[in-house]
A and B are shown apart, each in its own frame.
Chain A
Amino acid sequence: MAPLLSVEELSKSFAGNQVLREVSFTVEPGEVLALVGENGAGKSTVLSLVTGLLVPDSGRIVHDGAPVSRAWSPHRARAAGIGSVHQELSLNPHQSVAENIFLGAWPSRRGLVRGRDLAARALPLLERVGLDIDPRTRAGRLPLGCRQLVELAKALAGEPRLLILDEATSALDEEQVGAVFRAVRELRERGGSVMFVSHRMAELFAISDRLTVLKDGAVMATREREQTDHDDIVRLMVGRELSDLFPEKVTGPTGEPLLRARDLTVDGACCAVDLDLVPGRILGLGGLQGQGQREVLRALFGLARHTGHVTLDGRPVRLPSPRDAIRHGIAYVPEDRKTEGVHTARSVRDNLALPSLCSLAPGRRLGTVDRAAETRLVGELVERLQVKATSPAQEARRLSGGNQQKVALAKWLPTGPRVLLLAEPTRGIDIGTKREIYHLLRRLADDGLAVLVTSGDTMELVGLCDEVAVLYEGKVVDRLTGPALTEERLVRASVMGTGMGTDPDVKRVLAPDADPKTEPGSVAHA
């Protein structure tokens, strides 16, 4: 059978910098092709060319047996049956879920859009992606993971023959990922094709039929899933073994806790959470997406109204605002790095210096910023964290996600923090940078910082943390440490909401051949 999509020797340069070199691959009808590669390997560029956002310098794209026209555009791509879901959300937060799903193609009756019709037509699509929500909910009110699933429903509404999922699962917990996989398999059974991009290796192997590995803008290899394994793919990506991804954990007796939270409660998010942050240790907060992990961190940084007792060094502290938290030596690397972590429109230099301005521009200089000291500080941080920027004057939005995250973390180091809070520190970041961040966090802990990490990636929590507290509906349901800290125990506690669950099959949400009808949270569909 002729391939549905065939990419032939595509090359693309930006300002003299070649990001794609004669990339070729095909997508057959009814197959899931995974596109694998580190950040900056060229995955996004390839997808932008396929969806018509960019025009190639040379090479061509053949869709459905015919080369695409010169006027290929996102609109035409959609019309030709190419649907896509990206990591960056494109929903209008003020419109309802149903309105978002049918955006641009609202069914109308004599020019009037009927909310009820819209909702009724949206329901089956929401079921297909495993969402049990009212289609009339405003999109902005949904948690991040649900919004991502609505994006998928929106893409499915166009009845695509080729569905592109670009990091579309990075904000999802495992149950939601399972829902996405069901939708993908369903599409595949109908003869549709899917191009899938993810940084989570387990997902790639769970869903794809073939994997095409990109490195530095060129195709390294395309492998059948049955004939490869994690290590093989990682070797192709980076030329490095997976085994040193996580640093060694510390052993020995635990010291006195530095920060102690008791009965920490945020309305509607978490309830009576007790946490002890110990210098030198990395504590993880696990659980399914949206069980209150994010709000615990925001409360400890003074960004969320909360009740409960927090003591630092045994003395009670109040944390009504981030400025108070910072004064007490608490630093926060937020989940949403582009709106809270860094100023994307400001330079790397300005971003790195911002939290240290009090020492860079002291009162005895009348608040004038010491440019020389600033340059020194920025230079040291860029060097220490290996931030890849053309110069400190480069705008943060031009950095890759991994380097933005390094900036969001690095900017706190000169302030001498004692407690470091990180939400999803490696979401959407390539494996090389992930490794650097893991090792950096361990070094910081070794220097005496108390670290608290939330993550939706089970492997990350198990590999990185000394102890993991599992949240379920805002309560801590289990604490895992030492030999008890395994992916299986962690997933079980997350899904069951108890510390001593007995169901051994909880991991099947990721298993490729699980029967969809028995999966937890699955919705019956014809």
Chain B
Amino acid sequence: MEKRVTFKGIWLPLLLVLPQILVTAIFFFYPAGQAIWQSLFIPDPFGLSMQWVGLGNFEFLLSDRFYRASFLTTAIFSILVTVVSMGVALYLAVLADRLIKGSGTYRTLLIWPYAVAPAVAGVLWLFMFNTRVGVVTWYLGALGYDWNHVLNEGEAMGLVVVASAWGRISYNFLFFLAGLQAIPKSVIEAAAIDGARFWTRFRTIVWPLLSPTTFFLLVVNIIYAFFETFGVIHTITSGGPQQATTILVYKVYSDGFVGQDLGSSAAQSVILLVIVSILTVVQFKYIERRVHY
């Protein structure tokens, strides 16, 4: 039996939900509304006047080849981050699941990177790969490879992907491990008796039973790659070289606060808002149905 709390008046319940509503209003609805409003204007660089341009900012953006290039960069970046962080996490979780002794220590150590802030993680990786003093760069040099992510676009992308995926592995690992441990042991044993060896068991039993977890992580990781990787990119490449690592959310920042084109920046955040809404709706509406068994 579900026990529901009922209130007599309207004021107490209102008071109870007020903090949540206030937080959402101040930090989401107000800025989002501001962004939508500003996207319809071009302000001057000093913020002294604004000129109404209607959908002019959007028209300009959609015909701008740099903006379209940023879409491609974002797609490549988020696919790579998601695949790398989820792939490595799944591999580690499968190993940890088979572990009997010391699994607690192993788990704790693997969770640590999650506690590192993206910007700090970015700086850590930047130091290791610094073109002049980086440890990894030095060893690569010793092996005859000239690492220079400041000039090489592919290397820059590789570095921000690794740095972004690294902190994310812990989070994914936790969910995958919980997902694996939720699969009844006897089901795996039954498959073993049925003749399935490790890889066959994984492919036909474990992976399908893990699909709700995988789907959830897919959504969460794509959204992470879209937005929360700003700190990593800002510290390591600042979107360069030649915009090779300028993903959409970084372009919002660099066009708005570096380029001082606040109208375009606002229009870009509106576009991002729409993209993420569509992504989420599509994923939950259509893909989720297929992963339930």
* B is a partner of A: no
